[in-house]
Each structure stands twice: as C-alpha cells, then as structure tokens.
Structure 1
Amino acid sequence: MAEPATRTRRPVRQRRRTVLTRGTSMLRRAPVTLGLLAGLWILAAATGSVLHGPSRDVAHNVSLGIASFSDGHAWVLWTSGLFASRLSEYLLATVVIVAVAAPVENISGSGRFAVSAVATQGAGAAAALALAQIASMVPNAWGLELHGHLIEDPLPWVIGTLLAATAAMPTLWRRRIRMVTVVFLVTTALFAGHLQDLTRLCAALAGLALGPILFRDRTHTTTLGGTIREQRTLVALVVAASVLGPMLAAFSPHAIGPLSALRELFGQVPYTARELVDVCADPTLQGECRKGQQALRLSGFGPVVANLMPAVVLLVGAEGLRRGRRAAWLLVTWGHAALIAAAAASIIVRITERDEARSLVYGVHRHGSLYQELAPLSALLAVLIVLLATHRLFDVRAPRGTYRHVFLTTVAAAAVALVVYVAVGSLLADGFDRDSGPVTLLRDFPHRLVPPVYLQLFDPPVLPSTTPATVLFEWVGVAVWIVFAVLMLRSFMVPVLGHSPADEQRVRALLRSPGGDSLSWMITWPGNSYWFSDNGAHTIAYRVHSGVALTTGGPVGDPATRAGAVDAFAAYCQRNGWTPCFYSVGEDLAVIAREHGWGCVQIAEETMIDLPDLAFKGKKFQDVRTSLNRAAKQGIEARWTTFAEAPLSVTSRIVEISEEWVADKGLPEMGFTLGGLDELKDPEVRLLVALDADEHVHGVTSWMPVFRDGELVGLTLDFMRRHSDGFPPAMEFLIASAALSAQEDGLEFLSLSGAPLASAADASDGDDRGALDDLLDLLGHTLEPVYGFRSLLAFKAKFQPRYRPMYMVFPDSTALPGIGMAVSHAYLPNMSFEQGRQLMSRILQR
C-alpha cells in the first residue's frame, strides 16, 4: 500500500502572494462593502467623530435611541450604522467589515448584499427600540437605562448580512455560524443588555428571516438535523453560553441586562471587618449589622471565585456534553435543577417577607425587584428543557468505579480541608471577629463549602478580620470545588465503558494475524464489547440490547476452530441470559449455523473487486473510465492520507461534507455497521481524497485494512461522501483510483462493503424463501426512497464486482422481536420518538 502523500509545501513568499491575491480579488468583488466602509470614514471625518464619536448635537440627529426617534428622526434607524462611538470602535468596525462583510458580499452577490444590509439594519434597529420601549414600561433598572441610551454601531448590518447569507452556505457552516452567533448575541443581550446588544441581536434575527427569501433557490431544508457529534456540540454550546453569561456579568460592573444580577457582587462594602464588629455590638443597629455582614461576605476576590465555582463545574459539564458523556448530562441537569430551586426559594423569600432588598441568590440589590429574579429563573428553565429534550444524545458511559473514585476523592479532599480549617483557624483565633474555637470552626465549615451568595439568609458563625484568617476563610472551600471540577473533567476523558486498551491491542493483534474477513475491522469501532475464547485464539465483538447479544460479524481468529468459538460464545451468552445473534456474517458461518439448527436469513450483499486481473476496459466500464478521464482534464487528483496526517484544511472540509450529507438527507444518523467521522480517526484507516489544484476537497472515501497472517491483502470501503457542488463523478473516480493503486501494490481485493436490505438477485428468483425473507424484502423496498441502500448496490455494480451474501444468524425464531429491537437500536441508537415520527412520515409520503 502506498504511503500517505503529504501536501506539497509551497514557498512562504508564494503562499503570501497567493493570500494577497485572493484578498484583493475578494475586495474587488465587494463594491457595496467598500462603499459603506468609505462612507463610514468620510462621515466620521466630516462630523469630527473620529476620536470620540458624534458630538451631542450631531448624535441627536444620527444616533439610535428612543429620544432621537421620538423626535421624528426616523433615519437614525440607518444612520446609526454609519458611525461609531470612538476611534477604537471605528478601527474594530473596519476590521470586521473587511473580514466579514466583504466575504459575505462575495457569497451573496452585491444586489442581495445591499438589500440585506439595508433591511437588517433598519429592522434590527426598529425592533431594538420597540423592545427598549416595552422594557421601560415595566418598573426595572434595565428599562430605565435603555430609555436614555443613544448609540452608534456599524456591526448590526454586518451581522444581519452574515446571518442572511448563511442560507446560501453549506449545511455545516450554516448551522455553526447561526448557532454560535445567535447564542453569543442572546447571551450579551441578556447579561450585558445595552441598546447596541439588542440591536445586534435583532438585526441577526432579521437576517435569519430574510435569508430564505433572498436565497430561495439555494436554501437547504433540514428535517432532523445533523450528526450526533454535531448535535452534542450545539447543546454543549448552549449550556456553556448560559454559564459564561453570569460570569460575564460578574466581571462586568456596567452590565445592565435582565440577567445581570451578579454585577451586584461588586457593590461597595460599607464597613471593614473591624468596624463591623462595633456596628454589630450595638443592639439598635442589627439591620445595619446584617447588611454589613452580607456585603462583607460577598466582597473581595475569594468570595467572587467561590460564587463562580458552580458555573465552573457546569462549564466542565459542558465539555462532557460535547463528548457525549451521560455523567455530564446528569451533572448539568441536576446542577440546573439545584439553581432553579435556589432561584425559586429566593422568589418565595421576597414574596413572603415583602423585602425586595433581600435575595437568597443575589444578595443585596441596589435596584432590587422581583423581576430581577424571575428573568434568571426563566433562563435556567429554558436550558433545563433543552437538556431534557436531548437526553438521548448523551449515552457514553465511563467504566464502572469511575465516579465512585470521584466521590471518595472529593470526600477525602473535604475531610482534609476540614482538618486544615479547624487546626489553622484555631491557631489564628485572634484573626476572627468573635470566639473561634474548634467547635465554632467545625460548625462553620459546611458554610465554607457553599458559595457565599447562597448564604444570605443565614447569619455567619464567624467572620475573619485579618488577612491570614481571610485567606483561610475564603479559599478552603474553593479548594474542594477545584478538586471536584478537576476530577469530573478527568472522568470525561477516560475510555468509555467496555473499552479496554489491553483488549483493543489483543483485538488488533488477532486482526493482523491470523486475520479476519473483509468486514472484520469494524469490530474496532466504539460501542463494542469483546469476548475472548479461553485460549485467546478468537474474539467476537458484540453489543447487548433488549437482552440480545448482537455481534459485529463473526469470530476473528483461527479459521480451523471457528465452530468451537461460536459454541463457546453461545454458551457465554446463555450464562448471562442473552440471546446470541451473529449479524453480518458470511456463508461459512451460515453453514455452521444451519448445522446447529439455527435460523439464518440474508440481510445484505457485499460487493468484492478482485484485483489481480482487473482492467477497466470495455463498454461495461465506460462510466468508470469517463470519471478517470474527466478528473485528469480538470486537474483533480486522488491522494492517500489519514485523518491525523491530513492538513486542517482537508479535515475541516471532510467534516463539512459529512455534516452537509447527513443534514440535507434529513434523516437520523445511522451507526453500527455504517461508519462515520469518528471511525475515520483510526490511524490504520486510510483516506483517499479527491483534491483539485487549489486543494479543495471534492469527495472522500475511507478504507479499512484486511490482513492475513500479518500481511495486508485487501481494503474495505466504509465512508464515502461527495460535496454537493463538487466533481460529480467523484465516487467513481475515487473507487477506481483506489482499485488501481491497490492493484499496483499487489493487494488481492477491494471490498465495497455491504448494502443492507439489498440483494443483487431479484426477490422472485428465490426458491426457498420464508416469511422473514419476504418481510425483509418489503422493508428494503419501503426504506429505499429514504436511505437508498438498493440504489447504493446498483451504483457499486458499475465496477462489475462479485457478490458475497451476508447473513443474520440466530438460535430461535421466537427471539426475532427482541432481535429486531436490538438491530434497530444498534443502527439508530439516539433516535427520539419525534425523529421516528418524522422518519415514518417521510416514508409514507413517498
């Protein structure tokens, strides 16, 4: 097999010249963008607004605000997008316009770009003013602040045109740009909350609505979303945004948004610790004493860090969600449930005590209101609903004992912290405001583990008054939180349940020598557990669903003793109360099954290309030769590589093509014997990529190795995707190129893999067909318009392959209902009820 080719490295000067040429060409095709950029600077110079923005008199005529619009200056909806508030904002706007607006105009075309710029700027500004007016009608500090704002900001029309242009982009980038942009803008609007934040968000939403209208001919429709990997990433992004928002507010004292209550943590502390002792000693100042204690408890860097530790843990949970971990879903879900309970309790306290200055969650508010706690509660509920609705996506479990270790280690860390707090605190007894003996410190220690913002209704047993005591008091609990966060992060990185590096090495060794069949490499995929024979000569990969041990292929190991391995595995399943089912196996195992009296049914057809005598000659190979000739004329080459060795430009394009294929199909992503992006990352899986002269990827195929006695003898096709706008016969070209390359390297065969529920022979030709065969044939016909397995088999027929039937083998026909459920779950493990309903709807509409 040829070594993976590496990208030819052009000289640095040539690459710079190429980048400069492309940048210049892009700007030449963006006349509207250049005109708006020129207008921005000309107006700034003409009005003297370059350094400090428009003057007061000018601002009233060009800046966006309720006051200026109410005076009849309707044009401020658009003129506000042609000014900025200071020199740094002008420079930032220039960079964003060149980097974002110019490429967007290249995608959209100048006419559509101009329409979207005018429409989204005007609609976004008008909607923001309407929201500001509505907010100002409700008694709250945010509405009062918005009512007096006057802003200048060129970013709304840039963001609006970007979101409108996503309707013309490939599926992956369309979804990612929309999700990242909207989540970021919603977060800034809810937490920072200034008028320009609202305007940017409204302009983005206007762009989302306008895009499908402007690009009706290019708009993609997605029914069921993208891959599981992408859906997990998007949910993790939502959770991360909900976590980072409060952190943004906490470190932004000027935040005014409806969810910016954490800014109050930076309030001024009215007394020092020593002064507060005197205040609390006066019985007539008990109310003042309580307020001072609350303010002192929340002041300083330590309490702020302690208050943010739950957010840090939830951010760690978001990383676990991205990896599909079940424990991360439980952590984030229960974390949000706890925050909702705390917010609800705070609202109850406000209502029952009729004291809007007190809050269980947010301490003392300078501008307190019940509204300030209802808004965060609503946001938490929204995230919790998203988590509950997507729970099927997070099914990756850690090995047994992982979270027992996390729990015990966290408890041990808390015990050490307790000992340190009591021992060192006793030595620093003079550093506290009252008696701080071991009993008092022991009673206070549970408070150290709770972020101080949640302790507003509880009087502190003790408060520090010196620096050493303050450090001990504030940071001993933070240390325990940090230990827990680190342990949880590490737990999301351990191998998944059922995965053992040692077992994987044994499996790969058996796959090399003596070797398996053409599809055996699939047993290395995630989700499989492994059974090994007593002598270690055989392994079988399986997964258990609905009481059925469903195998991935047959035994891998010594062919001479394969029947004994089948018997031993069946006995192993019987001991565990499982029904064994050998899935996707060849004729040899079907013969063994029939001898045992087991049931056997054909479920797929594998296509094999024998390489020694292969020659793409004659009329029957006309399509194949045409693809090779067209590729040569258009400068497209087939290049071998691996996912790890391929440049970022290639791997990112592969991900984009895959996401586009899945999303535009509008179907649940299938697994089990159908590989996806995760399976490409195996270092022993080769990729053959169709690249043009500009290194653009037109199509990609992946090839699994087949070994016999340690020697590579064949390759098996798994993953194949073509870009919708790429080289049309990319798949024919790549498969033909792989066959010629493998033939040159002396390999024996290529397998084009199996096509489920499809057969080269017509159903009517069978003389010995049972009811189950007829049912599977009917199912294949039913699913054909949706998944196209039979069309795939017909495509592979272009290469004149020989056909190898593949079977499902089972001991008893009474187990077929359970086997059917197991197979369905294996192929569609994350399909929700709603996805199933939509899938059936699509089938019935055909």
Structure 2
Amino acid sequence: MTEAASAVGTARGDRTGGHGQAVIGRAQGVFTVLRRRLPFTSITVLVMLVLAVGSGSLWGAAQDKPWYSSVAYGLPSMEAGHWWALLTGPLFSVVPLYYLPMVGSFALFAGFAEWRLGTRRAAAITIGWQLLSVVVAVQFLALSRSSGWDWAERMSVTLDVGFSGGALAAVAVASATIRSPWRLRLRAGLCIYAGVAIVYVGTLADLVHFFALALALPLGNRLVGKLRARSIGRPSLREWRLLAVAGLLVVTVAEIVMWLVPGNGPFGSSGDLAITAPEVLILCVLVAPMINGLRRGSRTAWRWAIGLTVFAMLQVTLVAVALALGELVGEDVDTTGMSLFFVDNLLWMVLFVLLVAARGAFRVPSRRARRRWGRGGPGPVAARAMLARHGGSTLSWMTTWPENSYFVTADGQSYLAYRRHTGVAIALGDPIAPAGAAPAAVGEFVTMCENSGLVPCFFSATAATVASTAEQGWQQVQVAEDTLVDLENLEFRGKAWQDVRSSLNKAKKDGIEFRLVTLAEQPRSVISQVRTISEEWIGDKGMPEMGFTLGGVDEAMDTGTRVGLAIDAEGVVHGVTSWMPVHCGANRVGGWTLDVMRRRAGGFRPVMEFLIASACLAFREEGAGFVSLSGAPLARSADGEPANAVARVLDSLGTMMEPYYGFRSLHAFKLKFQPRHEPMFLAFRDEADLPRIGIALGRAYLPNTSLLELAKFARAGKRRAPEPRPVLRKVQPSPPLIERRERTRV
C-alpha cells in the first residue's frame, strides 16, 4: 500500500515537474524570440517599466511630480533649453492609467515594425520620427501661438510624454510591406484615427500623431526599400464597400462624440456644434440600415447614402451664403463654431467623393428589383425554380446571380440572363427553356434587343445555342473550353493520375481533412479564414478583381452552392473551392461546376489537387454523374492557328492577360484530371458589332476599371507576356451537354 502510494506520488511529481519544465521551456522560447527578433522593442519596453517603478510614476501621476517639467517635451521645455526632453519624454506616461495603453501600443506597433523591417531600420524610424514629429509640432505651435488662435495659445504652454508618435510612424512605414488588402485597411485606420482626433479632440499628443503620420506615410515605400509589397491597381469590390462603410461610420461617430463628449480642438468647441439628442437618434436610425446595405453592395443603400451626404453639404452651402449676405449688408454675424462646422462638413464631402468613386461596387439591386423579370416579372428566386424544372448548361447557375437582368419569353416558360453595358446585351450562356423551346427563346431575345436599340450577343454559349443563331446568319468564335470529368467509373489509377494520388496521400499524412459544406452555415472563424484567403489571392494579382462568369466568396455564400474546404487538425483552412449545381431537369441535380479556387499562401502545397479530387469522390457518392471544372476564359486545347481574325484577336488577348490571371495555366492544370472538353462560344451578328461587344465584355468582367487603365495593363501585359504556350493535347469532341440531356429525357 505504501509502495503504491509512493509510486502514485512519484508519478504525480513527475507530471508536475514535467508541466513546470514545459512552462519554463515555453518561456525560454518566448524570451529567445524577443531577444533575437525584437531586441529594440523589448529593451525599450523594459526601460519604460523600470523608470515607471523607479520614479514612482507607475502609482502616482508623473505630471504631478516636481521633475515632470524637466523630462516632458513641448514648447516650454524647448524654450527652457531642456533638449534632453526629446529623449526622456517618450519613456514616461502622464498618469498611471495611461501606462497600459501607452506601453501596450508601443509594444504592438514598434514590435510589428521591427518584425517586418528588421531591428536597425525599425529602431531608426521609430526614434527618428518620434523626434521629428515632436520638433515639427513644437515649431508649428511656436509659429502660430501669436496669431490669435486660442487653441495654439493653449497648446503652446502644454507638456506631454509618451512614445506614441514614433510607434505610429513605425507601423505606418511598415504597412508598405503588407500585402493587399490589409495595407489599405491599416493605412485607412491610421488616417481616420489621426484625422478625427486632431479635429475633435486636439491635444498636443494628437498634434504629434498627426505630424508623425503625415511625414511617414508618403515616404513609407522608399523607407522599406526591397521589403515593399507589390502594389495592386485598385481595391476589390469588397474593399470599396468596407471603405464606404468606414467613412459613413466615421462621420456618424463624430457626430455622436460631439454630442456625448464635447471637446475644444483646433477649430473650436464641439459643444457649440453638437446636434441634439433627437437628431442623434434620427441619424442613427437612418445610418444603421445604410451601413448594412453598403456592406452588401446594395444600390439602394448607396443612393440613400449619397442623399444623406448631399443634404449635409447643402447645409454648408446655405450657411456660407448666409454669411456672405450678412457681410454684404454690413450686419454683425455670429461666427462662433463656424470653423469646426465647415471642417465637420468637409468630412461629409470626403465621404461623398468616396461614395462616387466606389459607385461600381454597389450594383446589387434591391429585393423588389431582383423579383422583376424584364417588365415586372419575377427575379432570381423564380429563375431557380424554372432552372430546376427545365435544367441548363454547366454555367446555368450563374444566371441566378443577383447582378443579372432577365428577359422572359412571351409564354413565361423560358428566360435568358444578361448584362447590359455600353448598349450591348450580353446573354450569359444558354436559354433556360423547356425541351425544344430554346431556339424560340433565342429569337425573342434578339427581337427584344433590336426593338430596344441594343446589340445582342451570347457569351459562353454551347453548340446548341450557337446552332440557333447560325440559322439567322450569325457568326461565332470559341472563347473558352468546358472541362468535364465523368464520375461513374472514375478511379485515380495509372501514371496519369500520379499527382492526384500523391495529393490525397500527402493530405492524409499531414492531417488535412476535406469537408463539403454550405459555407453560409459554417462558424464565423471558418468564413473569416475563407474571406482572408480570397482577399490575399486577389491582392496578389496585378489587375482588379474580375466578375461576370467568375464568382467570389459572396457567390459561394449562397445556400445552393457547395463549398469544399481543406482544414488541418488545428482548424486552419488551407484551401477552398466552390461548386455550383448543374440542374438536369425534373428538379434533379446531375452534376456540379467548379467556380472559386483559392489557396492559403504558404499552406498545404497540393491543396487544389486534393480539393478537386476529394470533391469528385464526394459527389460520386451522392449520385452525381459528372463535374465541370469550368472553362477558363481565352484558353483552349486545340492546337494550330486560330480559325479567323476574331479568334486571332482573342488569342492575342489571352496572351496579354496570362501574366495577370493565368487562364491558360489554369486550363493546363485541369488536364491533370483527364477531362473531356466541350467548346464554349461567343455568338454575334457580324464583325461590325465586335468593337462594342469587346468594350461591353470588358465592362462586365472589370466594371470598376477605366479604358485608360485597361490600355495601361495591355501595354504592361505585352512586356510581361510569356513564351508561346505549349500545344495541349487534342481531345475528341463529345456531344453537347444539352443534347445528351435531351436524349436522356426522351
């Protein structure tokens, strides 16, 4: 009994000792990282804490100490000859309560900069910009204190301490090393903070912060040198939406802050300008649905936000006119608070400019508009019901996306989804129609376009639709190639499937799990990872995000779409694919089409092979007959020269776009899955329509890119164009999907 108890005690002691050793080991590891990677930040934080304890400022306010005026920086200390205050001031905090945010923010910002830039560069920027921003702020106050500016006179006798100016400058410079979209988000956040603080609060610290960022951000790219991340052309649609939401939040919060906490900043007291409590309530009631709508890209919310900003700017105009008239008639006009009034409304003007610049990101129609068909018919909901009833091609699910317009035939049994740009109606894919009714739907659509003065065309259409247009003397050219994998007898055997088998085996070895889910029903942590992966992928491109037949995370959030995730044991998402249903009629889903393909940078390398192969196996178990790996635009498998001049132009365009989007590389990647191919066509009336169709397609795919930007990318694409692409293997054509479906139905 005693021996057993002794053994148990020894085991417990071993476990306790092991746990203690593990804790010590982790602590030593953290210390090693801090010593090797973050020595400047660690030493500075340590000095701050030692001085806080040694001086007693950790439990007693430093500003009440007799030595405060000797260590704090400001115009009085500089005039007294206390030049050392530039070096001692950053190491203290005004009151004990401020130590936590001051030391914490310095450790976060300076540590981040040191991690990204290296110790020497980060230390030089942090110390140098702290000194520079304080000196510039002090000189600014020295020049303006005698101008009659009350705020400048107050600040000229103020002292302050803290290292926040240098820390903000360091993180602003380090932002140049961050990939998009986080670079834009970080810089926007810093600018919003500094701008709002100096306008509505206006302490000496806020002035230092303002100058620190104003002097650091323009030089960020130069200061980081080779560490600079590659720049992108423009923010993605989601980034534009987030910027608009942030702008509306800033002006709203500013109004609430002026009402709750009136300040006395450089432009006057906000108490004289604050709106009343009922006005604050009305503003919040109006803004709350606008913010939600802008976040979703709602066109209606954008219009309401524009109206709100115009109303705010109209107040400025009326006040300015009243002041001018008062001056003309010689009356005494009360101008109390007018400076802050105009500055406050300047923010509304900036928001207006931002909303106008981002107008292309707000193209999602209202629910009422989405319920309409052509002239008042139903919308995407009814489209899905009709699609399930009649079936469609592998791209037919895209016709249910909310940004489409709809044409419905006279009998109400068929529809076509289309986009309208520059006077061109681009029909997406094939008509959704009962068996044998597709040619009639094509004819009615063409008649509608001609009666409306629109140029009709069909994009990514199958051979069946092209045959209908050919009967009317139309032309056609292949623009893509659908890649189809039959699932019934699919087995990953043989040398041709070596890469796919290796990805499955390696995933199993590395603990990577495949999940086929509905993304909208996943936890917020998973959705957040998927969005981050997608945005980083978009940020790596040299051109803006594309749309039209290329969906994104918003489309993948649709409950009708399935999403494949590659997740490791720690819950990290390494890759994501989305799959759109292919309806084959009679409310039956016969296959799935690949849309989104995103992978985490630095994650599981063969994640795409693993995700696609796993999805094929999962869909086969569910009874699906095939999957479509979709058609990469401007890519094909046939060798030899293009058949006509239009095809040669498209081939050249594909060569130009390859360095940016890699459509041909993607097409070659899909050959790993031994697919069969079906061509996809652009059908048009005659060559005279092609210039307008080309511009319309550019608008459809890149709605937020100007013609000047497209020309610039075209020139850059020619310089970066790859070597002539290798000839891909010929594939024996197979019967079009619609014909096979109709034979099956018969």
TM-score (norm 2): 0.82
1:344 aligns with 2:344: no
1:786 aligns with 2:660: yes
**Percent identity over paired residues:** 34
Alpha-carbon distance between aligned partners in 1 of 2:236 and 2:600, rounded to the nearest angstrom: 16
Superposed CA deviations along residues 418-466 of structure 1, whole A, max 9, x for unmatched, are xxxxxxxxxxxxxxxxxxxxxxxxxxxxxxxxxxxxxxxxxxxxxxxxx
After superposition, the Cα gap between the structure-2 partners of 1:215 and 1:725, relative to the gap in structure 1 and judged at 3 Å, is: farther
What does residue range 553-702 of structure 1 map to in structure 2 within 5 Å? Answer: 553-702=429-578
Q: Given that residues 244 and 351 in structure 2 are in contact (C-alpha distance below 8 angstroms), is that contact kept between their aligned partners in structure 1?
A: no
Superposed CA deviations along residues 96-153 of structure 1, whole A, max 9, x for unmatched, are 4566666666666666554444344333333333443344354312211221111123
1:704 aligns with 2:580: yes
Superposed CA deviations along residues 658-679 of structure 1, whole A, max 9, x for unmatched, are 2222233131221111112221
Q: What corresponds to 2:738 in structure 1?
A: none
* SS at structure 1 position matched to 2:387: helix
Cα root mean square deviation, aligned: 3.6
| Structure 2 letter corresponding to 1:125 | V
Q: What corresponds to 1:799 in structure 2?
A: 673
1:750 aligns with 2:589: no
1:77 aligns with 2:86: yes
After superposition, the Cα gap between the structure-2 partners of 1:597 and 1:189, relative to the gap in structure 1 and judged at 3 Å, is: same
After superposition, the Cα gap between the structure-2 partners of 1:53 and 1:224, relative to the gap in structure 1 and judged at 3 Å, is: same
Q: Given that residues 343 and 377 in structure 1 are in contact (C-alpha distance below 8 angstroms), is that contact kept between their aligned partners in structure 2?
A: no
After superposition, the Cα gap between the structure-2 partners of 1:216 and 1:25, relative to the gap in structure 1 and judged at 3 Å, is: farther
Compare 47-56 and 606-615 and name the one that shifted more: 47-56
Alpha-carbon distance between aligned partners in 2 of 1:516 and 1:600, rounded to the nearest angstrom: 20
1:528 aligns with 2:536: no
Alpha-carbon distance between aligned partners in 2 of 1:319 and 1:770, rounded to the nearest angstrom: 49
* SS at structure 1 position matched to 2:437: helix
Compare 247-256 and 97-106 and name the one that shifted more: 97-106
Q: Given that residues 656 and 714 in structure 2 are in contact (C-alpha distance below 8 angstroms), is that contact kept between their aligned partners in structure 1?
A: no
Alpha-carbon distance between aligned partners in 2 of 1:159 and 1:741, rounded to the nearest angstrom: 50
* SS at structure 2 position matched to 1:759: coil
After superposition, the Cα gap between the structure-2 partners of 1:642 and 1:728, relative to the gap in structure 1 and judged at 3 Å, is: same
Q: Given that residues 538 and 565 in structure 1 are in contact (C-alpha distance below 8 angstroms), is that contact kept between their aligned partners in structure 2?
A: yes
1:779 offset after TM fit, Å? Answer: 2.3
* SS at structure 2 position matched to 1:143: helix
After superposition, the Cα gap between the structure-2 partners of 1:342 and 1:771, relative to the gap in structure 1 and judged at 3 Å, is: same
Alpha-carbon distance between aligned partners in 2 of 1:188 and 1:98, rounded to the nearest angstrom: 22
Q: What corresponds to 1:447 in structure 2?
A: none
Q: What corresponds to 1:358 in structure 2?
A: 334
Q: What corresponds to 1:29 in structure 2?
A: 33
* SS at structure 2 position matched to 1:603: strand
Number of aligned positions between the proteins = 690
Q: What corresponds to 2:99 in structure 1?
A: 90
Superposed CA deviations along residues 496-527 of structure 1, whole A, max 9, x for unmatched, are 99899953232212332332221111111121
| Structure 2 letter corresponding to 1:807 | F
Superposed CA deviations along residues 251-290 of structure 1, whole A, max 9, x for unmatched, are 43333133x4533358xxxxxxxxxxxxxxxxxxxxxxxx
Q: Given that residues 579 and 815 in structure 1 are in contact (C-alpha distance below 8 angstroms), is that contact kept between their aligned partners in structure 2?
A: yes
* SS at structure 2 position matched to 1:153: coil
Alpha-carbon distance between aligned partners in 1 of 2:97 and 2:670, rounded to the nearest angstrom: 59
Q: What corresponds to 1:454 in structure 2?
A: none
Alpha-carbon distance between aligned partners in 1 of 2:28 and 2:217, rounded to the nearest angstrom: 29
Q: Given that residues 598 and 809 in structure 1 are in contact (C-alpha distance below 8 angstroms), is that contact kept between their aligned partners in structure 2?
A: yes
Alpha-carbon distance between aligned partners in 2 of 1:303 and 1:725, rounded to the nearest angstrom: 53
Alpha-carbon distance between aligned partners in 1 of 2:372 and 2:45, rounded to the nearest angstrom: 52
Alpha-carbon distance between aligned partners in 2 of 1:692 and 1:22, rounded to the nearest angstrom: 23
Q: Given that residues 70 and 82 in structure 2 are in contact (C-alpha distance below 8 angstroms), is that contact kept between their aligned partners in structure 1?
A: yes
After superposition, the Cα gap between the structure-2 partners of 1:24 and 1:178, relative to the gap in structure 1 and judged at 3 Å, is: farther
Alpha-carbon distance between aligned partners in 2 of 1:501 and 1:739, rounded to the nearest angstrom: 37
After superposition, the Cα gap between the structure-2 partners of 1:173 and 1:208, relative to the gap in structure 1 and judged at 3 Å, is: same
Alpha-carbon distance between aligned partners in 2 of 1:246 and 1:146, rounded to the nearest angstrom: 24
Q: Given that residues 371 and 378 in structure 2 are in contact (C-alpha distance below 8 angstroms), is that contact kept between their aligned partners in structure 1?
A: no
| Structure 2 letter corresponding to 1:787 | Y
| Structure 1 letter corresponding to 2:590 | V
1:21 offset after TM fit, Å? Answer: 11
| Structure 1 letter corresponding to 2:134 | A
1:738 aligns with 2:615: yes
Q: Given that residues 85 and 152 in structure 1 are in contact (C-alpha distance below 8 angstroms), is that contact kept between their aligned partners in structure 2?
A: yes
Q: What corresponds to 1:816 in structure 2?
A: 690
Q: What corresponds to 1:41 in structure 2?
A: 49
Q: What corresponds to 2:16 in structure 1?
A: none
What does residue range 71-150 of structure 1 map to in structure 2 within 5 Å? Answer: 71-96=80-105, 113-136=122-145, 138-150=147-159
Q: Given that residues 371 and 381 in structure 2 are in contact (C-alpha distance below 8 angstroms), is that contact kept between their aligned partners in structure 1?
A: no
Alpha-carbon distance between aligned partners in 2 of 1:527 and 1:47, rounded to the nearest angstrom: 64
After superposition, the Cα gap between the structure-2 partners of 1:215 and 1:29, relative to the gap in structure 1 and judged at 3 Å, is: farther
* SS at structure 1 position matched to 2:558: coil
Compare 349-358 and 224-233 and name the one that shifted more: 349-358
Consecutive unaligned residues in structure 2, runs of 5 or more:
1-21, 721-746
What does residue range 41-440 of structure 1 map to in structure 2 within 5 Å? Answer: 41-49=49-57, 50-55=59-64, 57-96=66-105, 113-136=122-145, 138-205=147-214, 208=217, 212=221, 215-258=224-267, 260-265=268-273, 303=276, 305-306=278-279, 320-322=293-295, 323-325=297-299, 326-328=302-304, 330-342=306-318, 344-345=320-321, 348=324, 352=328, 358-359=334-335, 364=336, 375=343, 382-398=350-366
After superposition, the Cα gap between the structure-2 partners of 1:68 and 1:763, relative to the gap in structure 1 and judged at 3 Å, is: farther
Superposed CA deviations along residues 609-640 of structure 1, whole A, max 9, x for unmatched, are 12223233333333333333443343333322
TM-score (norm 1): 0.73
Q: Given that residues 337 and 384 in structure 1 are in contact (C-alpha distance below 8 angstroms), is that contact kept between their aligned partners in structure 2?
A: no
Alpha-carbon distance between aligned partners in 1 of 2:130 and 2:304, rounded to the nearest angstrom: 40
1:682 offset after TM fit, Å? Answer: 0.3
1:58 offset after TM fit, Å? Answer: 1.8
Alpha-carbon distance between aligned partners in 2 of 1:232 and 1:187, rounded to the nearest angstrom: 21
Compare 191-200 and 56-65 and name the one that shifted more: 56-65
| Structure 2 letter corresponding to 1:30 | L
1:396 offset after TM fit, Å? Answer: 4.5
1:607 offset after TM fit, Å? Answer: 1.2
